[in-house]
Amino acid sequence: MPKNILRLEDITMQFGGVVAIDNLSLEVNENEIVSLIGPNGAGKTTAFNVITGVYAPTNGAVYFKDQLIVSNFPKGPMKKIYAGQNNGKYTTTIKKTPDQITKLNVARTFQNIRLFKDLTAFENVLIAKHMRSKANWFSATLCLNHKEEQKMREEALELLDILGLIDVKDEIASSLPYGQQRHLEIARALATEPELLLLDEPAAGMNPQETHELTAFIHDIRSKFNLTVFMIEHHMDLVMEISDRIYVLDFGKLIASGVPEEIQNNQHVIDAYLGVPEDDEE
Amino acid sequence: MKTSKKLIYSLILAVVVLALLFFLEANKAKYGMAYTVLTKGIILAVVAVSMNLVTGFTGLFSLGQAGFMAIGAYVTAIFLIPLNSIEEVYYISGVSPAILTFKAWLESTPIWFQAMLPYIALIAGGLVAALFAALIGIPVLRLKSDYLAIATLGFSEIMRAIISSPQMDTITNGSYGLKKIQGFSSLIQVFLIAAICITFMIFLIRSTYGRAFKAIREDEIAAEAMGINLFKHKSLSFIIGSFFAAVSGGMLAMFMRSIDAKTFTVALTYDILLIVVVGGIGSITGSILSSLLVTASKEWWLRFFDSPLYIGSFQVPLFKTGFRMVIFSVVLLLIVLFYQRGLMGRNEFTWEGLARAFNKLKSKSSNKGGSKIA
């Protein structure tokens, strides 16, 4: 019986009357690579934002390693316009901020790369090490933590070395080629020492060759850092090749889940991506 | 460039600066203007660097500097007015008994404590301002960009209004201000205090916390996703920035010997903002350089334009009081046109940078002469 590391229960996310995610439940097991796919606007990134604490869901709960990290239920004006199910099932509100969730060892990357653009690649990775620093600001200013600082720098360099970015460590992040910026963002996420890595469209804007290399890359970092990977992706080749399991979202609803072969032959998925043929055309 | 060579250059620079300071100290009467400009310039450099820490490195556009300086100045002033002239200073509305008891207690402290009093006064001013910063930071730091600027500007004006209000007469002497404040013992002392403050802020910015500040400036969402607590780090930067703004305000009080609430209007904040922008937002050496340059040109180098100029018996028009500020504005316009990111941008002064600039200048002039040596 595989142990789940991330579990979403009945997550509904409603922006006013718009239901972005409707009653989504899913599980990610330890050491798996799981993909979340779906047409544009299906609510994939919203799901990530709920997991990482950017949004509080309207209803539902998120568990990380069986620890409740997010929980909410409809209240206030939302009570009247709530369109989801399971109303009344959840009674607690737990809202952790994104930095608290990162401290629990959940790291993420962003769909539209969000590096610290004017800083060097090395500094980008080093910043992610900051939250593990035990020094307070005063002792850090007086360089009393130089041993820890030294360790942080060494670890950052090691990480850049593993991800093949050591040659560009002193380059300004925004001047790097696109592919390397993606790698750097992953390096930065890995620097927070995650157990669960959320990748939001890691192959966006990459050519087929780069996409192919990314497959090996993700496998590589999973085994090296003992990670669980949960990712959103549009490149079907990549998704089918890499994923252990796949969840498919359409208009906020989970329409299918299973191993890649099942998804490829699932009529709902094909309909969602290609559209349902209209009967009255003939 | 080798580290040892850089160290030697830095040592030479330090010795030259020290020698210059001692020379000015010895010939105070002769070089009065240079003395004044250097003192005021370095005092403004402290507040400019503190504003740069908040605005340039953490990305919080705060315009509350003058308010924090006022707090620092008044606290320092109350510490440093001698007990025997205090009745004279507050001759209109009388002194609050609390201040009198406090001053009497200060008088009874041991002699070493009294010798340290200027430093203690500056730190106390800083701490009071830091407390205010922590309190107003709770609501204000939730705002972003322009809204934060407006809120902090409002705070600064409220501070000034409170200080000059009649209700505060027995503490701040209302709109009459405080005078007979104990001054600096020498130019060296001013530079020493300023150097300690600025070095502290440089070390803060170079520490892991400084990197977190920069991360917040670059991208708040990404910084938060990297586990950086936005509110904690923003407050930290804001409080430390306010502390040093207040220290600089206290130094200003010691330099001017008499202060009143009118010194700390919004115009003072704009002066500091000007220094930061001219020096380069995000460059500490830029702020120091620019505060010396701006102060010097405002108070000294451009004085020439204020006095009437005669060529033979012809009086050149426009040369009269106030024309200096017109020229100053034109100079600023030119700087902003040609150095859009300030004199230093986000770079810091390094010996390599100087060598590069020097080489560039040399090759340029040799190219002009047409004597190209392969």
Contact state of B222 with A115 under an 8 Å Cβ cutoff: yes
State how far residue B201 is from chain A, nearest Cα, in angstroms: 8
Q: Which of A33, A75, A81 is nearest to A56 (CA)?
A: A75
Contact state of A145 with B208 under an 8 Å Cβ cutoff: yes
Task: Tell me whether residue B125 is exposed, middle or buried, using C-beta atoms within 10 angstroms of its C-beta: 0 to 12, 13 to 18, 19 or more.
Answer: buried
ipTM: 0.89
Contact state of B207 with A115 under an 8 Å Cβ cutoff: no
Of the candidates B200, B211, B225, the beta carbon closest to that of A141 is on B200
CA dihedral B188, B194, B196, B198 (to 10 degrees): -150
State how far residue A171 is from chain B, nearest Cα, in angstroms: 15
Point out the residues of chain B with pLDDT beneath 50. 369-374
Contact state of B227 with A131 under an 8 Å Cβ cutoff: yes
Pairing of strands A228-232, A33-37: parallel
Q: At what angle do helices B117-140 and B65-80 cross, to 10 degrees?
A: 150
Contact state of B225 with A110 under an 8 Å Cβ cutoff: yes
- Per-residue pLDDT, A280: 56
Chain B residues in contact with A48 by the CB 8 A cut-off are: none
Contact state of A102 with B225 under an 8 Å Cβ cutoff: yes
Chain A residues in contact with B208 by the CB 8 A cut-off are: 126, 129-130, 133, 135, 140, 145, 149, 152
- Cβ atoms B243, B306 nearer than 8 A: no
How far apart CA B267 and CA B274 sit, in angstroms, is 10
Residue of B nearest to A153 (CA): B208
State how far residue B244 is from chain A, nearest Cα, in angstroms: 14
- Per-residue pLDDT, B371: 45
Is A134 an 8 Å CB contact of chain B? no
Of the candidates A52, A116, A140, the beta carbon closest to that of B218 is on A116
Is A106 an 8 Å CB contact of chain B? no
To the nearest 5 percent, what fractions of chain A are helix, strand and coil?
40, 25, 35
Contact state of A116 with B221 under an 8 Å Cβ cutoff: no
**Is A140 strand, coil or helix?**
helix
Contact state of A117 with B218 under an 8 Å Cβ cutoff: yes
Is A99 an 8 Å CB contact of chain B? yes
Chain A residues in contact with B215 by the CB 8 A cut-off are: 116, 119, 127, 130
- Per-residue pLDDT, B367: 63
Spell out the residues 6+ positions from residue A134 whose beta carbon is closer than 8 angstroms to its own: A145, A148
Task: Choose, out of B49, B207, B283, the residue to mutate when testing the contact with A (most A CBs < 10 Å).
Answer: B207
Strands (E), chain A: 4-15, 18-29, 33-37, 59-64, 67-72, 106-108, 196-200, 228-232, 245-250, 253-258
pLDDT averaged per 10 residues in sequence order, chain A, 282 residues: 85 88 91 90 90 91 91 84 80 88 92 91 93 88 88 92 90 90 92 93 86 89 91 88 91 88 86 72 46
DSSP for A172-187, written as a single string: BGGGS-HHHHHHHHHH
**Is A29 strand, coil or helix?**
strand
Tell which A residues from 196 to 255 touch B, by Cβ distance under 8 Å. Answer: none
Chain B residues in contact with A99 by the CB 8 A cut-off are: 224-230
- Per-residue pLDDT, A279: 63
Both structure tokens of A44 = 């994939």
Both structure tokens of B370 = 């047409």
User: What is the pTM assigned to this prediction?
Assistant: 0.90
